[in-house]
Amino acid sequence: MAVEKLFKDEATEEKGERARMASFVGAMAIADLVKTTLGPKGMDKILQSTGRGHSVTVTNDGATILKSLHIDNPAAKVLVDISKVQDDEVGDGTTSVVVLAGELLREAEKLVATKIHPMTIISGYRMAAECARNALLEKVVDNKEDAEKFNSDLMKIAMTTLSSKILSQDKEHFAKLAVDAVMRLKGSTNLEAIQIIKKPGGSLKDSFLDEGFILDKKIGVGQPKRIENAKILVANTAMDTDKVKIYGARVRVDSMSKVAEIEGAEKEKMREKVQKIIAHGINCFVNRQLIYNFPEELFADAGVLAIEHADFDGIERLALVTGGEIASTFDNPESVKLGHCKLIEEIMIGEDKLIHFSGVEMGQACTIVLRGASFHVLDEAERSLHDALCVLSQTVNDSRVLLGGGWPEMVMAKAVDELARKTPGKKSHAIDAFSKALLAIPTTIADNAGLDSAELIAKLRAEHHKEGSTAGIDVISGFVGDMAELGISESFKVKQAVLLSATEAAEMILRVDEIVTCAPRKREDRM
């Protein structure tokens, strides 16, 4: 006897063909959405939120676009996730990874239509991905030993990463900023030591790199504007006790003089606290919370620079950079770790005053100050620069470098093609499909630049059949160009992450043969 109905009222299930169809279509739609942002001539998208203030984001970063979408299709969510992971892991290649996964599924759909089992396709894809990775490994260049060459490699990688972003006009300037900042890190991938401050005004060219740390605050009234050999106490404590801090407390007094006594006692309490703080032997006090006039006056009399309301991000980073710890009690000065820096002074950027800490304990710390026409430009510039910094910090650790401009995809496609010819059985169709999917990236780069992609890819293919070819797409001139001469390089780590993530995501979506959607939860009647 057949079961009439298994699920609750509103739950749905899609089986077999329809489920596969739904997941393929969703994934391909997502890939087509971000496809136009790929490459140096990629276009930007405007994302407008429907929340309060209707905030607008203009971006060309695949992960940012996909993060902001609210998607129903389950397969599309898998692609959004891989682009997020790519962004966290290596920073760049967020669009490529989605485009490649989408193409792999597009090819797989054709194969499934010709009655090839998804598992066969998956095992073919596995073999192809392994073969493609080995093909890249044979071609990598590693200049770690030669500092000068390695530096120029980093510059090229930074310029290639930035060329598809808003900073492409001043990419040399920003590539230099990014390389300098990353070289200071001396091989750590902790980007917290690099602070990015955005100040509207000026043009993007006015951005600069400054050693040390800049805090976006003003120095208080009557306090020293410049301190050398500063000892800094970073704190998170209340410096505003001229209120009774008990919720709902009421004090009844029978004369005004008693009120004065209470106020006097509070002032005394505050004075004691300030003296405890000064007893640490400091000459700069940075607090996360606000500091009232009275304690500020006391600090000024003692010649201590007091900075209030340093936001949490600023405080955490300041403690990290100056080598101090955030304190909140001041009874035993010997247990508090103070921060140190050589010089604190006030600087002007545009119209704003900021506090500059130079010669800090953590030598690798630096601040990049971005200038630009509007907040949208600055936000996008920060995202672009962040991508470049991520890629460079990964490359410093894993110094293998490849050429860019569609060259790695051609190399992989050629190797995968050869593998397909040697492989017997149905798997060879899947391997062949993989090589077609790899060509999607150079094709898209050419399409976005308005070039004739079919013509260009055919030329590239012919070029790559010669041994040791360095040909790729030169979108500026619109022809096949020599990537080594043009200085277009990419990090091996990024390409490897793109290849492996895309294959795994495509595999995961291919395995699906049923989608069960849960019934929405009903609110129970509380009567």
CATH assignment of 214-362, given 3.40.50.800, 3.50.7.10, 3.40.50.300, 3.30.200.20? 3.50.7.10
Beta strands in 309-376 (DSSP E): 326-327, 339-349, 352-360, 366-372
- pTM of the full structure: 0.85
How far apart are the C-alpha atoms of 419 and 410, rounded to whole Å? 14
Calculate mean pLDDT across residues 18-38. 89
Nearest to 355 by CA among 210, 207, 206: 210
Q: What is the rounded average pLDDT of the residues 383-407?
A: 89
Q: What is the pLDDT of residue 244?
A: 57
Q: Which tens digits make up the pLDDT trace of 130-140?
A: 999 999 999 88
What pLDDT is stored for residue 526 in this prediction? 60
Of 95, 161, 322, 444, catalytic: 95
Which band of pLDDT confidence, cut at 50, 70 and 90, is reported for residue 98?
very high
Q: Is 61 a catalytic residue?
A: yes
Q: Which is catalytic among the residues 61, 153, 379, 417?
A: 61
Asked whether the beta carbons of 450 and 108 are under 8 A apart, the reply is no
Q: Single out the residue of 425, 360, 1 nearest to residue 215, CA to CA.
A: 360
Indicate if the pLDDT at residue 119 is higher than 90: yes
Least confident of 59-68, 349-358, 385-394: 349-358
**Of these residues, 57, 94, 160, 367, which one is catalytic?**
94
Mean of pLDDT over the chain:
86
Relative orientation angle of helices 407-422 and 118-139, to the nearest 10 degrees: 130
The HSE-up count of residue 110 (CA atoms within 13 Å, CB side) is 12
Q: What per-residue confidence (pLDDT) applies to 316?
A: 79
144-212+364-398 placed in CATH 3.30.260.10: yes
* Tokens encoding 174: 């920003």
Domain boundaries, the chain: 12-141+420-441+490-517, 144-212+364-398, 214-362
CATH entry 1.10.560.10 includes domain 12-141+420-441+490-517: yes
pLDDT for 355 beyond 80: yes
- Per-residue pLDDT averaged across 343-353, rounded? 84
DSSP characters over 115-156: T--HHHHHHHHHHHHHHHHHHHHHH-EE-SS-HHHHHHHHHH
Q: What is the 3-state secondary structure (H, E, C) of 413-429?
A: HHHHHHHHHHCCCCHHH
* Cα–Cα dist 70/67, whole Å: 8
Lowest mean pLDDT among 159-173, 357-371, 412-426: 357-371
What is the structure's pLDDT at 254?
Answer: 83
Q: Tokens 């470049």 belong to which residue?
A: 388
Evaluate if residue 227 carries a pLDDT over 70.
yes
Residue 153 catalytic?
Answer: no
Contact at 8 Å (CB) between 44 and 59? yes
The catalytic position among 92, 379, 387, 432 is 387
pLDDT at 123: 95
> Average pLDDT of 475-504?
90
Model pLDDT, residue 364: 73
When mean pLDDT is compared across 53-62, 113-122, 517-526, the lowest value belongs to 517-526
Kindly provide the residue ranges of all beta strands, DSSP E only, lying in 148-225, ordered along the sequence. Answer: 194-200, 208-211, 213-215
Q: pLDDT by residue (tens digit) across 425-450?
A: 999 999 999 999 999 999 999 999 88
In this structure, the number of other CB atoms found within 10 A of the CB of residue 122 comes to 19
Alpha carbons 470 and 482: distance in angstroms, whole number: 6
Residues 371, 376, 381: CA angle, nearest 5 degrees: 50
Give pLDDT tens digits for 269-285: 888 888 888 888 888 88
| Known catalytic membership, residue 301 | no
The distance from CA 12 to its chain's CA centroid, rounded to whole angstroms, is: 37
Which pLDDT value is given to residue 122?
94
**Catalytic site includes residue 50:** no
Inter-residue contact 64 to 383 (CB < 8 Å): yes
The DSSP call for residue 334 is G
3-state secondary structure 481-493: EEHHHHCCEEEHH
Separation between Cα atoms, residue 94 and residue 38, nearest integer Å: 9
Q: What is the pLDDT of residue 497?
A: 92
Q: pLDDT tens digits, residue range 65-91?
A: 898 888 888 888 889 999 999 988 888
